[in-house]
Structures are given as C-alpha cells and as structure tokens.
Structure 1
Amino acid sequence: MTLSICVHEEYVDADGVDQHRFGVAVTTRLPGVGALCPFASEHGAVATQAVTNPELGRKGLSYLEDGVAVDDALRSLLNADESRAERQLHGVDADGTFAFTGDNCLGWAGHREGTRHHEEAGHHGETGRRERDNYTVAGNLLTDESVVDATAESYERSSRDRLLVRRLIDALGAGHTAGGDKRDDLEIQSAAVVVTSTEDREMEPYYNDLRVDASKTPLRDLRETFALAREGYEAAIEKYAE
C-alpha cells in the first residue's frame, strides 16, 4: 500500500503579504518511500505511487514552475505514459487539484479531491478574508475506501493554528488507524513529509522535509523526528538570533 495526501493552503504572513504553502505526506509498507513518491516546491505538490515513476513527480513540478495548471500538467504526463493504467498520480497547485487512479492499480485503490474554505482573521479589527485549502488523497492496496476518507477528514478537521507538517502526519495516522495497508506480512515500512512555501524566509524550518526510510513504526518515528527537528530549529533560531 501507499497512502498519500497533497495540500495547498492560502495564508497571510506576519507582514500581511498573501502567501501559499504546499505539502505532501506519504507512507507505505516498503522502505525508502521519501526518495520516490513525494514532490513539492513553491509551485505545488505531487505524489506518484502504485507502480511508481519519480519522473512524473519531477516533470510535474517542472510544468507547474512553467505556469501549466496542475490538471493539464499531470494529465499530459499520463497521456504520454504507456503504463498509466498501473499508476496513481495526484497533486495540487495554487488554483486546483488533480487525481488519477489507473484501472490496473491493486485494490482497494482510489482517490479523493476536496476544498475547504475558512475565514482568516483580519488585522487591526478588519473584516477577515475568506481563504481556500485544496487537497487530494490517494491510496492503493488499502483495506477499503474508509482509509482515504479518514485521511481526508482528519485534514479537513485540522486547525490552522498547528503547523501543516504535523497535520499531514496526523492525517496519515488517521488513515492507518482506519485500516491502512492490507499487507500485514510486510513489516518494514517508511514515511515522509515535505512542506514548502512561497514565503521568503532567512532560514527554512528544518522540520519541513523529513523522512523515515525503514522502520516497523514509521508514523510514530516521523512524529518523533518532527518534534526533535522542531526543537532543534527553535534552539538554533534562539542561539543565532542576533
């Protein structure tokens, strides 16, 4: 099984400037998923899985950087792919979503696309603005459809007061709790999460690009790695603040 989620969120930074953040998180019952499946940049996020082709992720991001809409970018890559019936490919950009599950992907296999709107608090008593979050979730070799639904619903319920990287890990955890991978005989698993932003930061947070390449408890390990990476980042910011 591979289970993944891609997310786009609009937000306003501390200086009142409109920004976008993108995130992708993935887990599977094989080692090294972070090297093959999740791709993200300041232009979007893409996950490639089932019979995985990393070039679909790399080329997908390249097309997004060139200004091609995510639907057009990923659909065109699949149209040129003779093995598309065995692929799962999904992603987001600042304007939309795309998700595809090939007919030959092993079941249960499927995907879900969604959008949620919310009010962002205004500054200095101003009326809040309505912002949009887009997401896609896809999985294969799952126990059933409830795994994808649980992952999506965990994200939809999540509060923006928490960092996106943690919310993505929690969304994968919800899918795992709902049944996850049906291949119980495979013990070595992996997980990864990547979050990017259009915001120009002097120091990119260390905790926004994390991988657990081989573990029997990848999501627990990814949570612990995130906690340590965040602690280390905050300590470095404090130490070198001047």
Structure 2
Amino acid sequence: MTFSICARESYTNEDGDEHDRFGVAVTTRLPGVGTLCPFVSENCAVATQSLVNVELGRRGIAYVDDGLAVEDALEALLNADEGAPQRQLHGVDADGSFAFSGDECGDWYGHRRDEHYTVAGNLLTGESVIDTTAETYESNAVHETTDDTSGSPRTGDGPDPFAKRLIDALAAGDLEGGDKRDGLTVQSAAVIVETTEEYDVTPPYNNLRVDATETPISDLRRTYELAVTGYEDTLERYEEAYEEDSLDEVSE
C-alpha cells in the first residue's frame, strides 16, 4: 500500500537563527495510515510502508535521535528484519537521506532519493506518481534560504507552511494516478511536521490525520485549512491568556 514523501528543509528565520524542519505526508487505500507509516522528530523523518513494520519507524527515529545517521539506522534495522524484501523504508535527517524498496513489494513499486527528500510507493499506477510527487515538492521547496515568516500565527511574506506544501505534493501524485487499487474505497492520509524552531503555541496544522474516508487528499487539505483557521481564531480570542499563561485572562 501507500505512497509518501519525507523531506527536510534548513532555513534561517528573520532573527538570523538557523533551523531544520522535517515532515512526512502519506496516503493509501486503507484506513488509518497515519497510525502506521509516518514518524517524525526534530532530527529526522521516516516512513515505513508496503508490508508495514511500525518498529522500523519507531526505532529508526529513536536511533537517529540518539545520534546515528539515518542511513546507518535504517540499514541496521532492515538487516535485522526477516521481512525486509516486503518492506519499503525511507527517510531523511540533517545530513542526508535513505530509501529502500524490497524486491517483493507490489508492482508498481519504487522510490526516488534526493539529498533533502525521499519519495516511495508501491501498488501504484506507475512511476510517474513518484516523479510527480517529487517534482511538485521540488518546485516549492524552501532550503538553505531565509524564511521571513514568524510568530504564532504566522506573519510575513514567506512560503506556504511546510505541511501545506507536503499535502500539495501528495495531491499531485494522487492526480497522476496514485494507488492503483480502485476496488478499495476506504482510504486515509496524514501529514506530520516537526521543527527545531520554537513557537509560543504549537501550530495544530503540523500533525493531521484523516483515518477513514473516500476522498483522503481533499479531506486532508480541508482539515488543514480548518486547523489553520481554528488556530488563528483561538489565538485571537485567548491572546491574553497565552501571554499570561493563565486561564484567569480568558474572556467569554
């Protein structure tokens, strides 16, 4: 099942501080993909799919957080996994990327690896799904540049949030054909983003899932838009409470 993108962006914010952000976006023709495939920390992003072994994601993140390079971490896990020929595993950290597609994955399967992102999928309509996802992300990527947006909510004229751009890449791959199993109508999608930059209030649109629907990409996009609106409305209403860190400042 599944196609997904893992990506890293390094950037300098308007205060001159350097940061990394990591994210995964994924969709499949099965329910609950957000509970199985994407794993993200402020140090790396990993996706585990095909015949899913969630421990590859959990332990991969933990190993990178402990200091291993993503390539070393994921290769070590696959070497110890008897089911490796049926797995897809890919990810990025601050220094590079890794992608693996076992030779027993379902056709069409494959991956595309770049220094700052990876895309992988199986049971797809064709290779163009992977290429289109990657090229759509590349056309909007923000890497080794200045992002002059700031604050909670965001202000400034910088790029769209990372989560939105990952959803856009996923949507492009889906329009290209996506998962080929037309007979499976219950689908799901998810996006998760972590960053080394601290926010006064963590944006909720950086961790979203649509667990069971027949229109996963459009539903994920709509969920993202509602999360942004709700976040901004909440901050506007409860600004004093957040500043004072006290519910005594809440107005009805």
Task: Verify same fold: TM over 0.5.
Answer: yes
Residue of structure 2 equivalent to 1:30: 30
Give a deviation string over 1:5-36, Cα, whole Å, max 9, x none: 00000011232110000000000000000000
Rounded to whole Å, the distance in 1 between the matches of 2:119 and 2:126 is 14
Residue of structure 2 equivalent to 1:103: 103
Larger Rg over CA atoms: 2
Rounded to whole Å, the distance in 1 between the matches of 2:198 and 2:181 is 42
Deviation at 1:182, TM superposition (A): 1.1
1:207 aligns with 2:205: yes
Letter in 2 for 1:171: A
Give a deviation string over 1:106-130, Cα, whole Å, max 9, x none: 1100000124xxxxxxxxxxxxxxx
Give a deviation string over 1:89-118, Cα, whole Å, max 9, x none: 000001100000001001100000124xxx
Residue of structure 1 equivalent to 2:88: 88
Q: Normalization by structure 1: what TM-score?
A: 0.91
Describe how 1:1-242 pairs up with structure 2 within 5 A: 1-115=1-115, 134-158=116-140, 160=142, 161-242=159-240
Residue of structure 1 equivalent to 2:155: none
Letter in 2 for 1:36: L
Deviation at 1:240, TM superposition (A): 2.6
Asked if the contact 2:188–2:213 (Cα under 8 Å) also holds between the matched residues in 1, the reply is yes
The number of residues matched between the two structures is: 224
Letter in 2 for 1:185: G
Letter in 2 for 1:48: T
Query: What secondary structure sits across from 1:181 in the alignment?
Result: coil
Residue of structure 2 equivalent to 1:122: none
Letter in 2 for 1:169: I
Letter in 2 for 1:189: Q
- Taking every aligned residue pair, what percent have the same amino acid on both sides? 61
Structure 1 gaps of 5+ residues are: 116-133
Query: What secondary structure sits across from 1:232 in the alignment?
Result: helix
Give a deviation string over 1:13-63, Cα, whole Å, max 9, x none: 232110000000000000000000000010110000000011110100100
Rounded to whole Å, the distance in 1 between the matches of 2:128 and 2:141 is 22
Rounded to whole Å, the distance in 1 between the matches of 2:56 and 2:38 is 11
Deviation at 1:237, TM superposition (A): 2.0
- Cα distance change of structure 1 residues 33 and 70 upon mapping to structure 2, 3 Å threshold: same
Rounded to whole Å, the distance in 1 between the matches of 2:35 and 2:28 is 12
Deviation at 1:223, TM superposition (A): 0.4
RMSD: 0.9
Give a deviation string over 1:53-82, Cα, whole Å, max 9, x none: 111101001001111000000000000001
Query: What secondary structure sits across from 2:114 in the alignment?
Result: strand
Deviation at 1:229, TM superposition (A): 0.2
Asked if the contact 2:9–2:141 (Cα under 8 Å) also holds between the matched residues in 1, the reply is no
Query: What secondary structure sits across from 1:82 in the alignment?
Result: coil
Residue of structure 2 equivalent to 1:123: none
Letter in 1 for 2:62: S
Letter in 2 for 1:93: D
Deviation at 1:158, TM superposition (A): 1.3
Rounded to whole Å, the distance in 2 between the matches of 1:80 and 1:99 is 16
Deviation at 1:202, TM superposition (A): 2.3
Rounded to whole Å, the distance in 1 between the matches of 2:222 and 2:44 is 26
Query: What secondary structure sits across from 1:220 in the alignment?
Result: helix
Deviation at 1:159, TM superposition (A): 5.4
Task: Identify, as 1 or 2, the structure richer in strand.
Answer: 1
Give a deviation string over 1:153-178, Cα, whole Å, max 9, x none: 00001154111101111111111111
Residue of structure 1 equivalent to 2:247: none
Rounded to whole Å, the distance in 1 between the matches of 2:69 and 2:218 is 35
